[in-house]
Amino acid sequence: MDGLIKGVELWKTYKLDVTEVHALRGLNITVDKGEFVSIMGPSGSGKSTLLNMIGCLDTPTKGELYIGGKKTSDMSDKELTRMRAEEIGFIFQTFNLLPALSVRDNVEFPMRNLPGKEKPKKTKRIKRAEEALEQVGLGDRMNYLPTKLSGGERQRVAIARALVNHPQFILADEPTGNLDSDASANIIKVLHEVNSEGNTVIMVTHDKETTKDTRILRIRDGVIQD
Ligand SMILES: Nc1ncnc2c1ncn2[C@@H]1O[C@H](COP(=O)(O)OP(=O)(O)OP(=O)(O)O)[C@@H](O)[C@H]1O
Ligand SMILES: [Mg+2]
Q: From ligand 2's centre to the CA of 222, what distance in Å? A: 12
Q: Write out residues with Cβ below 6 Å of ligand 1.
A: 14, 16, 21, 23, 41, 43-49
Banded model confidence at residue 214, pLDDT cuts 50, 70, 90: very high
Instruction: Look at ligand 1, atom 4, and give the residue with the nearest C-alpha.
Output: 14
Ligand nearest to the CA of 43: 1
For the segment 188-195, the average pLDDT, to the nearest whole number, is 95
Q: From ligand 1's centre to the CA of 44, what distance in Å? A: 5
The number of the ligand 1 atom at minimal distance from the alpha carbon of 45 is: 21
Q: How far is it, in rounded angstroms, from Cα 46 to Cα 24?
A: 6
Domains and CATH numbers, the chain: 33-55+85-224 (3.40.50.300)
The number of the ligand 1 atom at minimal distance from the alpha carbon of 52 is: 18
Instruction: Look at ligand 1, atom 10, and give the residue with the nearest C-alpha.
Output: 23
Q: How far is it, in rounded angstroms, from Cα 159 to Cα 190?
A: 8
Q: From ligand 2's centre to the CA of 48, what distance in Å? A: 4
Q: From ligand 2's centre to the CA of 42, what distance in Å? A: 9
User: Please, what is the average pLDDT of the chain?
Assistant: 94
At CA 42, angle to CA 41 and CA 44, rounded to 5? 110
Provide φ and ψ at 86, rounded to 5°. -110, -30
Provide φ and ψ at 222, rounded to 5°. 80, 10
Q: How far is it, in rounded angstroms, from Cα 39 to Cα 73?
A: 24
For the segment 74-103, the average pLDDT, to the nearest whole number, is 93
The residue whose CB lies within 8 Å of the most ligand 1 atoms, and thus the one to mutate among 45, 173, 176, is 45
Ligand nearest to the CA of 50: 1
Report the DSSP pairing between strands 88-92 and 70-71.
Answer: unpaired
Query: In this predicted structure, what is the pLDDT of residue 1?
Result: 52
Ligand nearest to the CA of 41: 1
pLDDT digits (tens, 9 = 90+) for 8-40: 999 999 998 999 999 999 999 999 999 999 999
Instruction: Look at ligand 1, atom 8, and give the residue with the nearest C-alpha.
Output: 49
For the segment 39-45, the average pLDDT, to the nearest whole number, is 97
Query: In this predicted structure, what is the pLDDT of residue 59?
Result: 92
